[in-house]
Amino acid sequence: MNNKVIQKKEKISFLIIGSKRFKKSTAKAMVEEAKKTFEHVLFITIDKIQIQTSDSGVGLFYKGRNLLSYDAIYPRLSSSDFLLGEAVIKAIEQSAAYSPVNLKAYQITNHKFYTAQKLSNVGIPGVLSTLFISPKFSKLAVKETGFPFVMKLISGFAGKGVVLVRDPSQMNSILDAVHLFEEFICTQQFVKSKKPGTDVRCYIIGNYVLAVKRISAKGDWRSNLSRGGSAKLINPSQEMLDIAQKSAKVLGVDLCAVDMMDKNGKWVVIEVNFMPGPFMKYLGDMVVHEWIQFIKRKVLLKKKKELRKEKKAEKKI
C-alpha cells in the first residue's frame, strides 16, 4: 500500500512564499505534497505580502493573517524578488518559525562571484572567478582567467545572462553592452568538462544528498534543464557528497542544490541554487516529497525541544 496516502497529518502550519516568477507546476506539486502531511498549508507569492514595521515590531500579513505565526516558512525566492525578498526573509529570521534557508544564503547564492568567494574561502573547489565594476579596468580579470572565459551577470539564473567569450574583440563589445545596462558581471575560467554539456546537481536535504546528472540539449554548452536537456538519478561519489554538504554548511542552509562539474577528473562547484527546481519531468515528485518530509521532521523536533524547555521551566517554578 502506498504509505504516502495513509500518512497522518501533523498539526503543523506550513507557508510557502513563492517568487514573482514561480513555476506553477512546482508550486502545485509542493502544495499537494504538503497538504498530505500538514494540517494547514498556504502558498502565496511574495508580491501579495504586506510588510509592516512599527513601534510594535515587524509583521508579515496576507489578507489580515499574520504570516509569522506559521510553524514553518519556506521562502522560494529568486534575484528578481530582492526588493521585498531581503525584508521578508529578515522578518522570518526574527520570528519563531522554522525556515530551511536564511538571508545570508539568499544574498550570496544570488551573486555568482560572492558564492565562489565564500566557498573557496573554506577550500571548496570552484572555478577561478573575478568581479569588477569598470570594463576599463578589466585587464587584470582577463589576465587571471585567460581566453576563452565565461561571462555571467551576477544575478542571472537558469543559464540566462551567460556568455562564452572567446577573444578580446568579442569581449570588448560584450563589456560595452553590459556597462550600458549598468549590470555587474563576473567572469569565470571556462572549464572544459571531460563530458561537455554534462554536470551534476546535488540536492541538499539536511544531511541527505540526492544527486542528479544533467545532460544539455544538443548544441548548447550549458546544461540548465530550463534550456532543454535531460536528467537522471546517480549514486554520488564521496567527493561529491563532501563538496555538496560542505557548501550547504558554509551557507547555513538545510535545503538547496549544489551544481558541480568535472574539471580534470575533480569535481568543482559551479553554483549553489537557493530555489532549485525539482526536475519533476524526470524525477516525478521525489524531490518535493523529500523536502516536505524533511521540513516536517525539523518542525516536530523543534516543537519537542520547546515542550521540554517549557516543562523544565514549569518544574523550576
Partner 1 sequence: MRVLVLAEKENVAKPFVDAMKRKGVKASYLQLLKINLVSKHKNVQIKALEENIPKYDAVFLQARTDLAPFIEPLIDILYEQKIFCNAKPGSYYIAVNEPYRFVNLSSNNIKTPKTLSTGSIKNIERVSKKISYPLIAKSFIGKNVQQSMLVNNDNELNNFVKSIKTKVDGFVLREFIDDCVVSCVVIGRKVFAIDRRNNNKCVLELEKGRFYNPKEEEKENALNATRACGLEIARVDLVKGRVIAVEPEIPIDVFNKICSENLEEHVANFFIDKINEIGVKKTVGDDLIEIANKLSKTMFSRFLK
Q: Are 212 and 203 in contact (CB under 8 A)?
A: yes
Nearer of residues 143 and 312 to partner 1, judged by Cβ? 143
Gyration radius (Cα) of the chain, Å: 21
Q: Which residue blocks in 207-262 are alpha helix, DSSP H?
A: 238-251
- Give me the least distance between CB of 63 and partner 1, in Å please: 8
Q: Is 90 in the site for partner 1 (CB under 8 A)?
A: yes
> What does the alpha-carbon distance between residue 89 and residue 73 come to, in Å, rounded to a whole number?
10
- Pattern 174-213, partner 1, x by CB under 8 A: ----------x-----------------------------
Q: Name which position in 43, 82, 190, 282 contacts partner 1 (CB under 8 A).
A: 82
Cis peptide before 148 (omega within 30 of 0): yes
Residue 49: phi and psi, rounded to 5, are: -80, 145
Q: In what order do the strands lie in the sheet with 10-18?
A: 38-45, 10-18, 72-76
> What does the alpha-carbon distance between residue 247 and residue 267 come to, in Å, rounded to a whole number?
13
| DSSP 8-state secondary structure symbol assigned to residue 23 | -
Q: Is 241 in the site for partner 1 (CB under 8 A)?
A: no
Distances (CA, A) of 297 to 10, 105, 206, 245: 10, 22, 10, 19
Q: Is 39 in the site for partner 1 (CB under 8 A)?
A: no
Nearer of residues 126 and 278 to partner 1, judged by Cβ? 126
Judged by CB under 8 A, the number of residues near partner 1 is: 53
Region 103-142 residues binding partner 1, contact defined as CB under 8 A: 104, 107, 111, 113-114, 116-118, 120-121, 123, 125-126, 128-134, 136-141
| Contacts to partner 1 by CB under 8 A | 20, 45-55, 57-58, 80, 82-84, 86-87, 90-91, 94, 104, 107, 111, 113-114, 116-118, 120-121, 123, 125-126, 128-134, 136-141, 144, 154-155, 184
